[in-house]
Structure formats: structure tokens, C-alpha cells
């Protein structure tokens, strides 16, 4: 378990480096007088680069270079943080966009190996639980990071918040290096292991991936356009930082519960419960858009996020052969990035036409389709049985 926790700490600091800029990206672009569609487009560059680089990260991991990918992803995050700071000093949108692209590539390199390594290092029968603990590191980053980033940008400006990305990514690289030293030989692929990437077409993997796409598309509407709405209303950026902190807190509290429950009951019932809480959260967000009542929606979204994510990961990756699991992790997480990109760009167009607040009524509709993708294997099986 020591190696699992070294991996968890590296994952925590990598996610912390990402989440610390989450409440800052949109307000920074708005401060440079970027229009709503450009806000979504620049924010979406990260998701796009993460998306297209996931197969690269997956292939690198399956060739036996998982820990190199973990270290390299953190180091690229460090460089992106440095460029964020320089772009803030020079008020340079183009350099900022390039840094966001670099950060996206670092995600594509880091995520697949981080996820597949957690599955492989998990004790027998505790894969969901191990994914839950890993997810807690993500949630802890979302508790601390957005609040730190929002507060820092209010007090010392955007460059101070951006500098945190570089610091946290460097720490993440340090933990990945220690894990590499301790477990690098254990996870090297064996010559006798053979598996075809065609096995990624199995029903459970496809269903979980499509559900993740719609999940992330709806969630992107919150993380991209709620802070932009607050900035347009001249509200402090820290308010959205607190919103993300509450999401992270409730996600933190439910991650291991979701993972353990998925180990015992199977992933589909737990995913259903998680998506149901998210749906209620989106409905509340449309009812109460401003603080303090808006934080009620954050608690439901966070709890649903924490329950659903480890269960979806277990559904997608738990039964994949080890030889292709890193590529499977890369393809699976591509659907998160593709959904985020689709949400940022398409909902940016909606925001251009109807204002930032006009985005939120669409979120329950998008997520509602996710229930169809989750249950279509069951429905299809019943139809074929007739």
C-alpha cells in the first residue's frame, strides 16, 4: 500500500496544480476583455490537447513507461505554471493559450498511467476502494486548490495564483520519482502478456465512457460559466472558489463510499445514485444561482461526483487486461476531456446568445441523456431476449 499512497500523493499535487487555476482562468480572460465565446475557446484548448494526447499517454504506459509518464506530466505542469505567470505579467492571451495547451498535454500524459497504475496496485477485491482513495486525492485538491487560487488572485493578483501551479506540480514530480524507484520494476509488462485493443469495445467500457462524456459536458457548464457569470456581475472571484471547495469537500467524503459500494453491489446502482444527486444539484443551481443559496447545489453536485466517478472507473477498467489497461485508461479519460471541450465550446455559444445564466437550464437535459447511455446495455439485452 506504500506505493499506492506515493501514487496518491503525486496525483494529489498534480490535481492541485490544475484546480488552483480553475476559478481563475475565466476571470483572467474576462479581465483581458475576451468575449464569452473566446473564453470558452481558450478554456477548451486544455481539454482538446488533453484529449488528443491521451492515446500517446496510453501507448507510453503500455510499453512499460508509466512512471516516466507520471514524472513527465508533472514537469510539463510545472512549465505551464511558469508560462501562466509570464502571460499574466504581459497580459498576453496567446501565451496564456499556449500554456493552457501545454497543461492539457501534461494531463494526457499523466492521467492514463495514474489511473491504470492505481488499478494494478490495488489489493485483490478492492479495486473500487483503491480508485475511491485515489479519487479522494482529486477531491482534496478541489477542496484546497480553488479556494487558494481564488483567494490568491484577489489578494496578490493572477500571477500569484498561477505560480502555485508550478510549485504544486514540482512536488507531484518528486512523489512520482519516489514511486518509480520503489515500484517501477513491478509494473513492467511481461512478454507473455498479450491483449488486443479490440477488447476496448466491450459493452461495459463503451457504456461507461459515453456516460462519462455527458457527465463531463454538463459539469463543464458549471466550472466554466458560473465563475464567468460572477466576474460579469463584479463579484469577488473567491465566491466561486468557495463553490468549488464545497464540491470538493462533498466529493471527498463520498469517494471511498462510492468505490467500496461499487466493489460490493456493482458499479451501475452507484453510478445511478451519483447521477441522480448531480441532476438535483443542477436543478437547484437554476433555482439559486447566487451565494449563499447556490452552495446548496454545490453540495449535491459534489456528493454525486464522488459516488459516480470511482464506480464509472471500475465499470470501464476493472475487467480490462493489464496489457491494455493504460490505453484503456487513456481512451476512457478522453471521453471526459471530449465532454468538457464540447461543454465549454457549445455552451459558450449559448452564453454568447443568452448570457452566462442561459447556460444552466441546459445542464439537467445533458445529464439526463447520461442515464440512457448508462442503461442502454440493459435495455438492448432485454430487447434482444424477446
Q: Is residue 260 part of a domain?
A: yes
Q: Indicate the pTM of the whole model.
A: 0.78
Is the confidence at residue 384, as pLDDT, over 70?
no
Spatial separation of the C-alpha atoms in residues 307 and 315, rounded to whole Å: 13
Write the burial class of residue 193 (CB in 10 Å: 0-12 exposed, 13-18 middle, 19+ buried). Answer: exposed
pLDDT (0 to 100) of residue 374: 93
> Picking from 42-46, 108-112, 166-170, 216-220, which range would have the lowest pLDDT averaged per residue?
42-46
Q: Is residue 191 part of a domain?
A: no
- Look at 332 and 23; give whichever has higher pLDDT: 332
> What's the CATH code of the domain at 292?
1.20.1250.20
HSE-up of 113 (CA within 13 Å, CB side)?
33
Q: What is the pLDDT of residues 237-257, one digit of tens each?
A: 788 878 988 888 898 889 999
pLDDT (0 to 100) of residue 383: 41
pLDDT (0 to 100) of residue 38: 74
Q: Is residue 124 part of a domain?
A: yes
Q: Is residue 193 part of a domain?
A: no
The average confidence (pLDDT) of the chain is: 86
Work out how many domains the chain is built from and give that number. 1
Q: Is residue 117 part of a domain?
A: yes
Is the confidence at residue 102, as pLDDT, over 70?
yes
DSSP for 199-246, written as a single string? GGGSHHHHHHHHHHHHHHHHHHHHHHHHHHHHHHTT--THHHHHHHHH
Q: What is the pLDDT of residues 186-198, one digit of tens each?
A: 555 554 456 577 8
pLDDT (0 to 100) of residue 42: 80
Is the confidence at residue 368, as pLDDT, over 70?
yes
Q: Is residue 194 part of a domain?
A: no
Spatial separation of the C-alpha atoms in residues 183 and 121, rounded to whole Å: 9
Q: What is the pLDDT of residues 216-231, one digit of tens each?
A: 999 999 988 998 899 8
The segment with the largest mean pLDDT, out of 21-35, 51-65, 206-220, is: 206-220
Q: Is residue 328 part of a domain?
A: yes
SS3 386: coil
Percent of the chain with pLDDT over 70: 93
Q: Residue-wise over 371-382: b if at least 16 C-beta within 10 A, else e?
A: bebbebeeeeee
pLDDT (0 to 100) of residue 264: 92
Q: Is residue 311 part of a domain?
A: yes
Domain extent for 247 = 2-183+201-385
Is the confidence at residue 85, as pLDDT, over 70?
yes
Amino acid at each position: 500500500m506504500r506505493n499506492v499512497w506515493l501514487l496518491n500523493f503525486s496525483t494529489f499535487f498534480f490535481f492541485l496544480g490544475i484546480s488552483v487555476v480553475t476559478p481563475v482562468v475565466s476571470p483572467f480572460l474576462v479581465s483581458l476583455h475576451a468575449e464569452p465565446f473566446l473564453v470558452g475557446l481558450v478554456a477548451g484548448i486544455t481539454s482538446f490537447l488533453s484529449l488528443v494526447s491521451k492515446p500517446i499517454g496510453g501507448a507510453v504506459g503500455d510499453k512499460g513507461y508509466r512512471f516516466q509518464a507520471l514524472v513527465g506530466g508533472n514537469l510539463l505542469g510545472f512549465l505551464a505554471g511558469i508560462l501562466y505567470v509570464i502571460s499574466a505579467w504581459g497580459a498576453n492571451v496567446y501565451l496564456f493559450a499556449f500554456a493552457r495547451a501545454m497543461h492539457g498535454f501534461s494531463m494526457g500524459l499523466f492521467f492514463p498511467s495514474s489511473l491504470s497504475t492505481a488499478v494494478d496496485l490495488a489489493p485483490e477485491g478492492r479495486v473500487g476502494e483503491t480508485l475511491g482513495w485515489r479519487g479522494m486525492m482529486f477531491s482534496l485538491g478541489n477542496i484546497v486548490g480553488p479556494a487558494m487560487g481564488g483567494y490568491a488572485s484577489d489578494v496578490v493578483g493572477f500571477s500569484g495564483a498561477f505560480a502555485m501551479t508550478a510549485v504544486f506540480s514540482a512536488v507531484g514530480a518528486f512523489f512520482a520519482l519516489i514511486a518509480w524507484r520503489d515500484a517501477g520494476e513491478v509494473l513492467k509488462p511481461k512478454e507473455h502478456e498479450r491483449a488486443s485493443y479490440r477488447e476496448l469495445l466491450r459493452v461495459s467500457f463503451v457504456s461507461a465512457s459515453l456516460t462519462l462524456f455527458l457527465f463531463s459536458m454538463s459539469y463543464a457548464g458549471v466550472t466554466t460559466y458560473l465563475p464567468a457569470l460572477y466576474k460579469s456581475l463584479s463579484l469577488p472571484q473567491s465566491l466561486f472558489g468557495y463553490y468549488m471547495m464545497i464540491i470538493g469537500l462533498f466529493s471527498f467524503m463520498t469517494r471511498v463510499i462510492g468505490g467500496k459500494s461499487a466493489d460490493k453491489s456493482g458499479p451501475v446502482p452507484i453510478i445511478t445514485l451519483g447521477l441522480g444527486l448531480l441532476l438535483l444539484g443542477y436543478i437547484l443551481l437554476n433555482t439559486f444561482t447566487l451565494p449563499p443559496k447556490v452552495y446548496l447545489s454545490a453540495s449535491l453536485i459534489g456528493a454525486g461526483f464522488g459516488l459516480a466517478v470511482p464506480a464509472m472507473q471500475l465499470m470501464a477498467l476493472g475487467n480490462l487486461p493489464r496489457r491494455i489497461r493504460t490505453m484503456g485508461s487513456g481512451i476512457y479519460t478522453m471521453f471526459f476531456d471530449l465532454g468538457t471541450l464540447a461543454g465549454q465550446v457549445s455552451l459558450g455559444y449559448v452564453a454568447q446568445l443568452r448570457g452566462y445564466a442561459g447556460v444552466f437550464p441546459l445542464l439537467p437535459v445533458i445529464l439526463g441523456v447520461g442515464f440512457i447511455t448508462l442503461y442502454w446495455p440493459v435495455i438492448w439485452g432485454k430487447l434482444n431476449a424477446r
